[in-house]
Amino acid sequence: MNIPADRLTLEQINSMAKTDFVEHLGGIFEHSPWVAEGVYSRRPFDSVQELHAAMMETARHAEPGQVLALLRAHPDLATRLAVSPLSAAEQRGAGLDRLTPEEFVQLTGLNAAYTAKFRFPFIFAVRGKTKEEILSAIGERVGRSLEEEQKQALLEIGAITRFRLEDLLGAE
C-alpha cells in the first residue's frame, strides 16, 4: 500500500517518541494537545478506531473545566477571525467561505445567541454538510438545554476528530 506523503501509518504513530506523537496528533482536537498527551501511554493502537476511541475517552473524562476549555477552543463557524488550518479547510468544504451577506448576518447572530446561552461556540461536524444544513442545525440547537448541547458538542467533536484522524492515518 502506498501512503500519501502527508499521511502517516499507525505503525509510525505507535513508534513515535512522546514529543513527536503530540506534535503530529496534538491538533486533532482543536488547540488541545493534552488529549494526545493523555493517550500516549496507551500505545500501541491496533487501529485508527481504537486510537480515536481512546482520545474521545480522554476528552470525555477530563475535568469539567478542561472539557469546557476544549469546547471553547473551537472557532465560531464562518468567523472572519483566524482559525486553525484544519478548521478553515473544513469550513471551506461546507461553503461557509461563500455565505451571502444575509447568510453571514444570520449565522453571526445565531452564533452570538448560542455562545451567550451556552458559553462555548456552536460545534458542528461540517464535512459533507451544506451551509443550509448548518444554518438549520444551529437554529434548532440554540433552543436546547446546556446538558443536551454539551453532549451534542462532544458528539460533533467525535465526528470532526474521526475525520481528521482518518485524513492523517487513513481508515485502518
* Residues involved in catalysis: 74
User: Which residue shows C-alpha cell 461546507?
Assistant: 94
Question: Residues 41, 54, 128, 80: is their CA dihedral positive or negative?
Answer: negative
C-alpha distances out from residue 155 to 2, 16, 43, 98, Å: 32, 28, 24, 26
Alpha-carbon Rg for the chain in angstroms: 17
Closest residue by Cα to residue 40 from 19, 57, 63: 19
The sign of the CA dihedral 83, 89, 94, 99 is positive
Class of residue 63 by CB neighbours under 10 A (exposed 0-12, middle 13-18, buried 19+):
exposed
**Which residue is associated with the grid cell 480522554?**
58
The count of other CB atoms within 10 Å of the CB of residue 56 is 19
**Which amino acid, 82?**
A
